[in-house]
Amino acid sequence: MNDYMTILKENGLKATFQRMHILEVIGMCGHKDIDEIYAEAIKTHPSISLATVYKNILIMTQSGVLVEVPLVGRKAKFEIKKDCHVHLVCSHCGDIQDEAIELVDADKMQKILSGKNFFYSHQEINIYGICDSCQKIKVS
Ligand SMILES: [Zn+2]
Ligand SMILES: [Zn+2]
């Protein structure tokens, strides 16, 4: 169980009911776009508005609680910030799986980029393919 109240406070945000609820939804569902998060959030709290969800997701992304995952040809998805990982993105259904690997380790990356005087911070990598369940649908 994640302590969302602590995560919010550590990032300088008030732990409002709306933010806690949005984090619960994302924590439960993984990578979701704003519409999907909203659709899930109103199931348990019908009073929450799309504008509120949208506004709080932006604030939590700016303050580093959430990370935006930009996707080719689809709406960006959001996840709770965690250790460096790559995303396996299904081109068919848009499903995203986390893969806990760093493709190029930070030291090596900094060495490669120092020639360009570019300071490395982190990597966000999407690897595209077809997921397990979509492969099964195509075969049957
Ligand atoms: Zn798929
Ligand atoms: Zn992820």
pTM value is 0.84
Is CATH 3.30.1490.190 the classification given to domain 83-140? yes
Dist. CA 125 → ligand 1 center (Å) = 18
71 C-alpha vs ligand 1 centroid, how far in Å? 14
The residue behind tokens 């982190």 is 122
CA of 28 to the centre of ligand 1 (A): 19
Domain residue ranges in the chain: 1-81, 83-140
User: What distance in Å separates the CA atoms of residue 26 and residue 128, rounded to the nearest whole number?
Assistant: 22
Distance 118 CA to ligand 2 centre (A): 25
CA 64 to ligand 2 centroid distance, Å: 14
Judge residue 19's burial from the number of C-beta atoms within 10 Å of its C-beta, 0-12 exposed, 13-18 middle, 19 or more buried.
Answer: buried
pLDDT digits over 50-88, tens only? 999 999 999 999 999 999 999 888 899 999 998 888 999
What CATH code is assigned to 1-81?
A: 1.10.10.10
The yes-or-no verdict on residue 125 having pLDDT over 70 is yes
* Per-residue CA distances from 98 to 5, 86, 90, 126 (Å): 24, 6, 12, 10
Phi/psi for 130 (5° steps) reads -115, 130
Between 10-14, 43-47, 74-78, 105-109, the lowest mean confidence (pLDDT) is in 105-109
